Amino acid sequence: MPWMRSRWHELLHLFFPRHCLLCGRSLVKGEEGICLHCLCDLPRTDWHLQADNPLVEALREAFPFEHGVAFFHFEQGGKMRRLLHAFKYQGHKEIGYWMGRLLAQEWMAVQSDCTRFDYIVPVPLHRDRQRQRGYNQAEWIAQGLRSVWGTPIDTTSLYRTQATESQTHKDRAERWRNVCAVFKVAEDSPLAGKRILLVDDTCTTGATLVGCANALHALPDTRVSFLALAST
């Protein structure tokens, strides 16, 4: 029964309190992963409030994205960097789900057509990288988006043909070379003629997003947008 589950969770959190991943404070009812104070302190871009923004305008030089947004600034040593590190490398995959839900609600509240997508497509990891990490962080963001919008997720159409080296310490030119032509689309993909939202955790140069979009653009009449949690 729902009320019994609610009481059980309340008792569980009483004896085993959850703590904010950023500041260590005990979380209260309604807080997930990070406390409200830390959530409000994350460096927001507010780009979802704009018809266009600096990131999508820059990437349109390489691909004709329909829409695009990153919700937070990635700052070295900042809270967003620590949150993404916990998300990608410390096994806290639930962070992607919580943040995906938050971003879906905020973008939907803008009352534009930006959220009327046919499919959500997480940026794929190579199978070796996903086996090593245990999950694809972009898929967890996508699951959070789907829980609010109800938009289906496609994780089989877009794939990597090879495992690229880590992008973390590469400059812009090296990043673009590293992902050039490594993405392909399955022949039986249902994405032709659809509005697609590409999802990733971080956009640095945009090379990965553009590589994915170019692969999807091989399908007829596709319209591609993107969402990232953070941008450098």
Cα 101 from chain centre = 11
pLDDT greater than 50 at residue 16: no
Q: Are residues 107 and 191 in the same domain?
A: yes
Same domain membership, residue 213 and residue 175? yes
pLDDT tens profile 105-154? 999 988 667 788 999 999 999 888 888 888 999 999 999 999 999 999 99
Q: CA–CA separation, 150 vs 196, rounded Å?
A: 14
Three-class SS of residue 88? helix
Does one domain contain both 67 and 179?
yes
The tokens for 47 are 């780009």
Q: Which residues of 59-79 are buried (b: 16+ CB within 10 A; e: fewer)?
A: beebbebbbbbbbbbbeeebb
Query: Do 186 and 158 share a domain, yes or no?
Result: yes
- 34-52: per-residue pLDDT in tens? 899 999 999 999 999 987 8
Tell which residue, 124, 117, 125, 123, has the closest CA to residue 146: 117
- CA dist., res. 142 & res. 122, Å (int): 6
CATH number, domain with residue 195: 3.40.50
Q: What is the pTM of this model?
A: 0.85
Q: How many domains does the chain have?
A: 2
Is 199:172 a contact under the CB 8 Å cutoff? no
Answer whether 136's CB lies under 8 Å from 173's CB.
Answer: no
Task: List the domain range (segments joined by +) for residue 9.
Answer: 1-41
* pLDDT score of 15: 41
